[in-house]
Structure 1
Amino acid sequence: MPQVNYTIPTIRTLQELDRAVERYKTSNLSGGELLSLWQAIRDASLNQNFSEPKNDGVSVENSY
């Protein structure tokens, strides 16, 4: 079976991620194209930088 290589797009912003998810849900892609878009969405989601609260006002000793 011939091997087909697809380029995995790089998603850098939340807007690009939102557009990629929408395309994934509404497109008629299949096979390698669908897999490469899924991989790009997965990678971008895992690379998100979620902000940690700096000081929520509750000391560790008093938290649950």
Structure 2
Amino acid sequence: MPELTCTVPVPKTPQELEQAVKQYIVNDLRGDELLCQWQAIRDASLNQDFCVPTDSDLVAGEDSY
């Protein structure tokens, strides 16, 4: 099976990702274009850092009880 070469840019920010998903839903994509768009959205989703812990996010340990 030949390897698929995609030139679709991978979204970097949550806003770009959201826009890419909206475009994916409304466009009538087929074949390689469909797969390339899906892969770009998947890769962007996996690369997002939605939760960056801060000092205020820490959960108290046993010593606090």
Into which bin does the TM-score normalised by the smaller protein fall?
Answer: 0.7 to 0.9
How many pairs are equivalent? 63
Structure with bigger helix share is 2
Gaps of 5+ in 1: none
How large is the Cα RMSD of the aligned pairs?
A: 2.7
TM-score by length of 2: 0.73
2:13–2:48 contact (8 Å) kept in structure 1: no
What SS does the corresponding residue of 1:55 show, helix, strand or coil? helix
Deviations 1:23-55, CA, capped at 9 Å, x for gaps: 111110111101111111111111111222423
1:9–1:36 contact (8 Å) kept in structure 2: no
